[in-house]
Amino acid sequence: MCYRKCKLIPFIAALAVMLSGCAGAETISGREDRNVTAAGTTTPQPENIPETSAETTAETTTTTAPVTTLVTTSEPPENDTYEMIDGFIVAYEGMPQVRAMEPYYFSGETGEYLVSCIDGYADSVGEQTKVWLMMIPSSQEFYTPENIAGEYPSQLKCTKKVYNRLEKAEGVFVNDILEEHKAEYLYSRSDYHWLPLAAFYSARIFAEQAGVPFAGFDTYEAVEREGYLGAFYSVNNIRSLEEFPDTFTYYKPANLDKCKCTMFNTWFSVGDEAELIREDYALGDSYQMVIGTDDCIFEVDTDADNDRVLVIFKDSFGNALLPFLTTSFSKIYVCDNRYFNVNSVDFAKTVGATDVLFALGSASTTDGNKIGLIEQNMYN
């Protein structure tokens, strides 16, 4: 691990003051958001998605495109009630807006380490491959009761601070578009993850920055699954979520039947035919329907008519992006940082990657051990 000792630590020391805390200015050392290309832009809302209110409910289990109804329970009630249960924020209990959220914490040290690892990877893979970082905010950024929101750092400001320090890679800024659409059903109330609709908006931002085609929202078939209860309920046993379960809606791309998928082991040595979306999965496993597992290297051959090859290094948040990029790249590889046994730099070169996207949820961008997987995988 000489790279970390010899190259990353001096760089981290130089950045120590720059990235400490997130309450101050949103630019660093006079750099004006060079890597926050999409910040401040307004992206049009997809066609056929109407404005919705907290009272909207779904009466069907399957809806085909164009989408005409969204279930929304995101509009905060007047009473900002909450309690802490096993370290999680549980807000609006007894109301349709009830949701559990992971608190967000950030330190300058982990931000520095993230910058060093992403730029270190970009430097190693070479200029022929564009490297991107998408820091995916958690639901706590958008739905925390106002009376405690100030107790947590702004994910928006922390993201900007990290992106502004990138030299070799480029940030994909999705906070603004998610803030703009937060009254829609973007995040599960009973699970840690975002929902596929949020991934659609974020994938579109990425496609725009990468300069690749992107299919309109009305080309997807939407399928609703009523009564979804995610990990906050099933793992953390937050029982107050049971009264108002989620509606989980996933989206099938129009070219789904034209995508050839192969699931390889984590050594990229043995592969079997696979499905992009596992529609046979149980209701409680709805978020795992895309790919079906994290413990693999997943390859998708699409019908996109270009020479762009994308490698996604991700945590579980990254899976949801995949169905929305099948018209954008001719080939896509999805690799989980936690389950990857080959050298990540050599892998990108071997598959001819034109683009590498690190798509990471907030828990993976604020934990030094999880960030360290990026560096570790460069030396497998």
In tens digits, the chain (380 residues) has pLDDT values of 333 333 444 444 444 444 555 644 333 333 334 444 333 333 334 444 433 333 333 333 444 433 333 344 556 666 678 999 999 999 999 999 999 999 999 999 999 999 999 999 999 999 999 999 999 999 999 999 999 999 999 999 999 999 999 999 999 999 999 999 999 999 999 999 999 999 999 999 999 999 999 999 999 999 999 999 999 999 999 999 999 999 999 999 999 999 999 999 999 999 999 999 999 999 999 999 999 999 999 999 999 999 999 999 999 999 999 999 999 999 999 999 999 999 999 999 999 999 999 999 999 999 999 999 999 999 99
The C-alpha atoms of residue 95 and residue 241 are separated, in whole angstroms, by 10
Q: Taking each helix axis as running N to C, give the angle between helix 155-165 and helix 108-125, from 0 to 180 degrees, rounded to the nearest 10.
A: 40
Would you say the pTM of this structure is higher than 0.75? yes
The C-alpha atoms of residue 330 and residue 251 are separated, in whole angstroms, by 20
How is the chain split into domains, by residue range? 2-41+107-215+255-379
Q: Which helix (H) or strand (E) holds 359?
A: strand 355-361
β-pair partners for 309: 331
- DSSP letter for each residue of 131-179: EEEEEEPPTHHHHS-HHHHTTS--HHHHHHHHHHH-SSSEE---HHHHH
Q: How confident is the model at residue 76, as a pLDDT?
A: 63
The 3-state DSSP class for residue 79 equals: coil
Backbone angles phi, psi at 82, to 5 degrees: -160, 165
Q: How confident is the model at residue 36, as a pLDDT?
A: 44
The C-alpha atoms of residue 250 and residue 290 are separated, in whole angstroms, by 9
Q: How confident is the model at residue 319, as a pLDDT?
A: 98
Length of the chain: 380
